[in-house]
Structure 1
Amino acid sequence: MEISFWLLDITYAVVGGAPEIRMFGIDRNGERIVVVDRSFRPYFYIEGGPHNLRQALAAVAPIESLEVVERKLFGRSITLTKVTAKIPEDVRKLRDAASALSGVRGVYEADIRFYMRYMVDTGVVPSAWHVAEVSEEGRLGSLKKYLVKRPPTPILEKAGVLPDLRVLAFDIEVYNERGTPDPSRDPVIIISYKDSQGREGVLTSDGRDDRPLIRKFVEYIRSFDPDIILGYNSNGFDWPYLAERARRLGLSLSIDRMGGQPQQSVYGHWSILGRANLDLYNIIEEVPEIKVKTLDRAAEYFGVMRRDERVLIPGHRIYEYWDDPKRRPLLLRYSLEDAVSTYGLGEKLLPFLIQLSSVSGIPLDQVAAASVGARVEWLLMRYAYRAGEVAPNREERPYEPYKGAIVLEPRPGIYSDVAVLDFTSMYPSIIMRYNLSPDTYLEPGEPDPPEGVHVAPEVGHRFRRAPTGFIPQVLSSLVKLRREVRGAMLRIDPNSVEYKLLDERQRALKIMANAMYGYMGWIGARWYKREVAESVTAYARSILLDVIKYARALGLDVIYGDTDSLFIKNNPIIEKIIDYVNKKYEIEIKLEKIYRKILFTESKKRYAGLLDDGRIDIVGFEVVRGDWCELAKEVQLNVIEYILKSQDIKEAKSNVINYVKTIIENLKEYKVNIDDLIIWKTLDKDLNEYKVMTPHLYAAKLLEKSGFRVHKGMTIGYVIIRGGDKITYKAKPYILINDLKEIDIDYYIEKQIIPAALRIAGVVGVREGDFISRGGGKSLLDFLS
């Protein structure tokens, strides 16, 4: 019989001494099923080796077969022995044994996870529809089980169609009287949820007994049986905390589709077998426009929930609201709004993540947690297999710096009516145009081939003009696929769900193509080649400088340039630049945006611009730094807004000065919440591994002395208090502060608020003396030196 199903999750198990691939999916009738393939076996490659290779390896683990095969490595033919093992667990043993044999010059593809190997070789695609010839085999757990006669075949034309997915968003709150909660001691007090059937609510503990609460949560998940579980920082907090808390209480957190518990897996994510567990924080980390990555700010950015319309409670004060019967309803509402916000974010981000999973080949369960490099690499693995290329091994290698993109020195000031010209997919276009690839690179001393070479400007690296390299081939394929998807979009209703999914698919294809350059310069990459990455930026610098020269020859005012963008005083003849670039370099350049006003400091990659719709773009200022308190970040954001939205410089100066003076006066009178003064830093090492005493380390040691459990990975919140000379020894954990007047308000005024404000306001002539009465006021440059 034939079935079609949408692949949600994939794993394997060893049954009766043989591996079986298990594909969890949803069939066209909406039934949750598992499709099993027992035909596939694990393998790897060996280059060279002794004549008695089989005998030597068989002494370590059973061998299914040995086969001599021809493959390519960096485009050059290579003869390899394909070693097929009985079970995946034997590959590591055989790899280690082979590496130690005389005559073995290399071992390849011995570190590929078995279910990923299966998808690469068979063409099975995660988060996509497939058709398969199967026979029924009863049930596996609660799921109907099918055995395939051959690997399933993707139905690529259904890329814009999704099954009816059951989605759950959840959030937990933990009693945290002593700061960072400890699962060995501190109970889970609330679990809030919202699901795709329209249900939302909060589950609560019985006082501080969280056993009934955890049991209710497990029962709810089993009953609802979600396909996708959404959280925000759930891989970093909720799941590890729940798992450890349940273990401490002797409870079973059996919520996966085989009756098992969540397990930490690759990329630091937590796997829930048969379901896709997605931590949306992983993907928000990649959104540069969101400066502070909290859930409330992410939800506001995506239009899910405004911050001024929801309850906001500082995390370290959760226990106070739980203990206070009058304030507990606010805490319950706060938690529910977290779950609702997470669900709303999921509605915005899930279509993209599904397409990113399908394009990269990484299961939906893992794709958000995977790095950009990992996503690119799995895409390349699929193309390499089809091209007969063996994947290079990862190597330990030192970082090799190279000159990056060109960034012009900005002219400090405020400019109006500034157009931003953006080179569309500049780096992929350069790679394809000049055939830049690890397998086309010519080592120094190698003769030029008959077909000729491309020579990168400045750096002089040479690349064969033909044949087309592996990376340019992949990019050409991605560009072609994207063109096809965009063509399909023209034939359907722009308001349809299918259009939305196809739009996300073309975006995923574009993002993967644009990430290819960075991948080749990443020292952890299999296809790493510094000379390729260096040549890409060399060509980009040459092109950008040429375009700047042309623009100035036209009489245009070039205000700033960065990597693949030019900021030019708006003028109708900008169209001539677009024509020039298209004709000379065959690279698309377009008018990306026009700023009504834009502010530059003297520093590169630091600017803020006001768009026509009232939104403000901010690049490179303190709002993205972790060593500033929340109040300093808020001040800088507000100063930017005052300046950009004022009618003229005089009004801007007046508004900023009055605003900052008010903040300073409030600080002096202690009209401030301690939460706004806390500085947060993470311990990235154990306490005894630090060589230098830092403020957050000193604060951590004070916590430890006070009886708190302090550990690597813990986020330390501290304030600066009065007394002492060195700032390091003035750091004190906020939870040990008994009186707000312990805090050194002068430090916050002089080292946080004024510098944060002056980095922006200095551009319009504001000086330190405008904020406080003091002789010899400092200028912007004093704070930047």
Structure 2
Amino acid sequence: MSFWVLTDKGPAHLVTDHERPIFFVSTEQQPLACKTLQKSSIQFQCKPLKLNTFHHEPVTAFYFQTLDSFYRAQNQLKHNKITVYESDICLHDRFLMERFVRGGMMFTGNPIQKQGYTRYTDVHIKPAEYTPSLNVLSLDIECSSKGELYSIGLSGMASDVVLMIGSPNAQDQSDNDWIKWVDNEKALLETLVTAVEKRDPDIIIGWNVINFDFRLLLKRAEVHGLRLHLGRSRRPCSWRHRVGDTSQGFITIPGRMVIDGIDALKAATYQFESFSLDFVAQHLLGKGKATEDIDNRMATIAHDFLHNKVKLAKYNLEDCRLVEEIFSHTRLLDYLRLRSQMTGLELDRMGGSVAAFTNLYLPQLHRAGYIAPNLPEDGGLASPGGYVMNSRPGLYRNVLVLDFKSLYPSIIRTFKVDPMGLIEGLKKPDDGIPGFLGAHFSRTQHFLPDIITSLWCTLPSH
């Protein structure tokens, strides 16, 4: 298991072999679970723990040496109707959350100096407050309607450039040294690798940069039999599809992060009629893309690639700079950094409200003697939402709108609504706080109300 981190002395690659994949099984089902795994020749170790399910059943932990055996074991046990708990927690997530590491960390290990970074083995970590200075590169590509690459723009880190297929005329060459000319698409991709390695960014930003720009870059690299070695120490990129949706995916660049401007704005609760770069830039910055005809820009791009490559290069670079300015104007990276410090979510993790809750809640639940329950197959009992009055259709001269700020968090804090608090409250219902459908929440044994209070105090007042 490895992590890339930033330190005052530059990037570091942390490697640890201490953590093993783990899930839990009720101790009552342990003999059957062991027999099932042994029959399938799956190597494991098990150990009874002083932890219980929400049904007050003691549990046994099952440990594995490899992720392959961990996943195979899950499948075998579930196939044999043996309930497995917390099997959906990723190994690296568990490693960080159980040590209360959110954003910053302190670590020890054996250093090995590499080109451009330091590798540490036998790593041990603990939480710490640390805010690094990030090197950010903005990337944008231009291509044909068939996905053939024309150019790649890079801005930021005081070194703006456009990589352009073709050759300059005499005037283009003398006046536009910010354009680097290459012979063909393969050379364009190879030059991109060199340009990224030279600049060595921590974060690459863009507009739909993951599911368009990088996805297309990887496809075109595959056409030419190349791997894009854009990671630190020239490690290759990798792509994986989102489960159940092959039109969306994730890019992994070892030692770097890719953050999409659209996803980041949505995560920060920005809303626009359109999330096109031109619309958002006009709304936030008062200026837009460098083209006269937004609706027919593909035709314009194709024309300029054939007849006015310098104009296309300026358009390409302006898109990179617009994204930079949007990130700066909205302080998106500051927001993502604060969110990471508060919840433990990675900077490039979009959405993730369930993961944030898990990061904050699960370690405390374990220390209180419980493991997390599984989500019921039918979704479980739904609690009622807010009361919606029937409307009286008509035209009204005066309308009063009442919007209650943070209503549900306030209810949770007031009535001590909490998963473990419900289990503890039902033990002594006479001392608990009454809830929905016979629920009783403990007045003293709970975590969620305190987590919400802590997050509330950390958020900016505006």
For the criterion TM > 0.5, the same-fold answer is yes
Residue 321 of structure 1: aligned partner? 301
- The answer (yes or no) to whether the contact 2:150–2:165 under 8 Å persists in 1 is yes
Partner of 1:152: 125
Structure 1 residue 264 displacement after superposition: 2.6
Instruction: Please give the residue correspondences for 1:193-592 in structure 2 after superposition, counting only pairs within 5 Å.
Output: 193-195=154-156, 197-206=157-166, 209-265=184-240, 268-286=249-267, 287=269, 289-303=271-285, 306-307=287-288, 310-311=290-291, 313-314=293-294, 317-324=297-304, 328-347=309-328, 348-365=331-348, 367-368=349-350, 370-397=351-378, 404-406=385-387, 409=391, 412=395, 422-439=403-420, 449-456=429-436, 461-468=437-444, 470=446, 473-480=447-454, 482-483=456-457, 485=458, 506-507=459-460
1:54/1:63 contact within 8 Å kept: no
In the alignment, structure 1 residue 121 sits paired with structure 2 residue 98: yes
Name the residue aligned to 2:148.
187
SS of residue in 2 equivalent to 1:122? coil
Give the CA deviation at 1:406. 4.2
Q: What CA deviation, in whole Å up to 9, does each residue of 1:286-321 have, x standing for no partner?
A: 535312111122233333x523x8435437532443
Post-superposition shift, 1:83? Answer: 0.7
Change (3 A) 1:375 1:414: farther
Q: Any stretches of 5+ residues in structure 1 without a counterpart?
A: 1-20, 486-505, 511-591, 593-785
The letter for the 2-side match of 1:73 is: T
Structure 2 Cα separation of the partners of residues 59 and 437 of structure 1: 40
- Mapped to 2, the partners of 1:241 and 1:440 lie a distance apart of 49
Give me the whole-angstrom Cα distance separating, in 2, the residues matched to 1:430 and 1:34.
43
User: 1:62, 1:86 within 8 Å by CA — same for their partners in 2?
Assistant: no
Residue-by-residue CA offset, 1:416-465 (whole Å, 9 max, x unaligned): xx8866433221111221233445559xxx99822154245xxxx23214
Q: Which has the larger radius of gyration?
A: 1
Task: Give 1:251 deviation, angstroms.
Answer: 2.1
Residue aligning to 1:135:
110
Amino acid at match of 1:131: M
Supply the distance in 2 between the matched residues of 1:63 and 1:101 (Cα, whole angstroms). Answer: 18
Separation in 1, partners of 2:345, 2:199 = 26
Whether the aligned pair in 2 keeps the contact of 1:168 and 1:226 (CA below 8 Å) is yes
User: In structure 2, what residue type is equivalent to 1:154?
Assistant: P
Corresponding position of 1:490: none
- Mapped to 2, the partners of 1:311 and 1:274 lie a distance apart of 35
Distance in 2 separating the partners of 1:373 and 1:50: 29
Identity %: 22
Where do 5+ consecutive residues of structure 2 fail to align? Answer: 168-182, 243-248
* Paired residue secondary structure (1:123): coil
1:437–1:219 CA distance, 2 compared to 1 (3 A): same
Contact preservation (8 Å) 1:138, 1:145: yes
Q: 1:258 to 1:49 in 2, by over 3 A?
A: farther
Instruction: Give the TM-score normalised by the residue count of structure 1.
Output: 0.50
Write the letter of the residue equivalent to 1:143.
Y
Note closer, same or farther for the CA distance 1:468–1:231 as it changes in structure 2 (3 Å cut). farther
Q: Select the residue among 10, 13, 23 that pairs with 2:3.
A: 23
SS, match of residue 40 in structure 1: coil
CA 1:448/1:136 → structure 2, altered by over 3 Å: closer, same or farther?
closer
* Displacement after TM superposition at 1:253 (Å): 0.9
1:232 is displaced (CA, Å) by 1.3
Relative to structure 1, the CA distance from residue 300 to residue 386 in structure 2 (aligned partners, 3 Å threshold; closer, same or farther) is: farther
The structure-2 alpha-carbon separation of the partners of 1:169 and 1:312, relative to structure 1 and needing over 3 Å to count, comes to: farther
1:42 paired with 2:21, answer yes
- Secondary structure at the residue paired with 1:389? coil
Query: Which string of whole-angstrom CA distances, capped at 9 and with x for unpartnered residues, describes residues 253-285 of structure 1?
Result: 111125333223485321112111111211333
Which residue of structure 2 aligns with residue 689 of structure 1?
none
* 1:50 to partner: Cα distance: 5.5
Specify the code of the residue in structure 1 equivalent to 2:133: D
Query: 1:599 corresponds to which residue?
Result: none
Query: Which one-letter code corresponds to 1:241 in the other structure?
Result: L
Structure 2 equivalent of residue 707 of structure 1: none
Structure-2 separation of matches of 1:346 and 1:481: 24
- C-alpha distance after superposition, 1:696-720 (max 9, x if no partner): xxxxxxxxxxxxxxxxxxxxxxxxx
Checking the alignment, whether the CA contact within 8 Å between 2:143 and 2:151 is kept in structure 1 is yes
Deviation of the 1:26 alpha carbon = 1.9
1:651-695 Cα shifts (integer Å, max 9, x gaps)? xxxxxxxxxxxxxxxxxxxxxxxxxxxxxxxxxxxxxxxxxxxxx
**Within 2, Cα distance between the matches of 1:436 and 1:291?**
36
Residue in structure 1 matched with residue 46 of structure 2 by the alignment = 66
Once residues 288 and 411 of structure 1 are traced to their aligned partners in structure 2, the CA distance between those partners, rounded to angstroms, is 32
Deviations 1:460-507 (A, max 9, x none): x2321424564xx22323313543x4xxxxxxxxxxxxxxxxxxxx25
Partner of 1:632: none
C-alpha RMSD of the superposition: 3.3
After the TM superposition, which residues 724-739 of structure 1 pair with which residues of structure 2 at under 5 Å, given as runs?
none
Task: Measure, in 2, the Cα distance between the counterparts of 1:419 and 1:329.
Answer: 56
Q: CA deviation at 1:227?
A: 0.6
Q: Is the 8 A contact 2:416 2:433 kept in 1?
A: no
Q: Counterpart of 1:174 in structure 2: which amino acid? A: C
TM-score by length of 2: 0.82
Q: Which amino acid aligns with 1:112?
A: I
1:420–1:235 distance in 2 versus 1, CA, 3 Å: same
CA contact (8 A) 1:27 1:33 kept: yes
- The structure, 1 or 2, with the larger RCO (C-alpha pairs under 8 Å, 6+ apart) is 2
Post-superposition shift, 1:231? 1.6
Q: CA 1:434 to 1:278, structure 2 compared with 1: closer, same or farther past 3 Å?
A: same
Distance 1:209 1:136, change over 3 A: closer
For 2:132, the equivalent position in structure 1 comes to 163
- Specify the code of the residue in structure 1 equivalent to 2:148: P
Cα-to-partner distance string for 1:209-234 (whole Å, 9 max, x where unaligned) = 32222121111111111111112112
Give the conservation status (yes or no) of the 8 Å contact 1:299–1:306.
yes
Which residue identity is paired with 2:76? A
- How far apart in 1 are the matches of 2:151 and 2:296? 15
| Aligned-residue offset at 1:192 | 1.2
For 1:301, what is the secondary structure of its paired residue? helix
CA positional deviation for 1:349 = 0.5
Q: Which amino acid aligns with 1:256?
A: G
Residues 363, 40 of structure 1: CA spacing in aligned structure 2 closer, same or farther, 3 A cutoff?
same
CA contact (8 A) 2:232 2:255 kept: yes
SS at match of 1:152: strand
> Which amino acid letter does the alignment assign opposite residue 49 of structure 2?
V
Aligned partner of 1:221: which letter? Answer: V
Q: Which amino acid aligns with 2:365?
A: A
- What's 1:81 paired with? 60
Letter in 2 for 1:153: K
Aligned mates of 1:282, 1:33 — CA distance in 2: 27
Offset at residue 400 of structure 1 (A): 7.6
Question: Contact conserved, 1:34 with 1:145, CA < 8 A, in 2?
Answer: yes
Q: For the Cα contact (< 8 Å) 1:435–1:469, is it kept in 2?
A: no
Whole-Å separation in 2 of the counterparts to 1:65 and 1:383: 25
Query: CA 1:329–1:383 in 2, change beyond 3 Å: closer, same or farther?
Result: farther
**Match for 2:341: what amino acid?**
S
Residue aligned with 1:80, SS:
strand
CA 1:45/1:211 → structure 2, altered by over 3 Å: closer, same or farther? same
**Partner of residue 175, structure 1:** 144
Is contact 1:435-1:464 (8 Å) kept?
no
Shift of 1:101: 4.7
Query: Aligned partners of 1:73 and 1:302: how far apart in 2?
Result: 50
1:455/1:147 Cα in 2 relative to 1: closer, same or farther (>3 Å)? Answer: closer
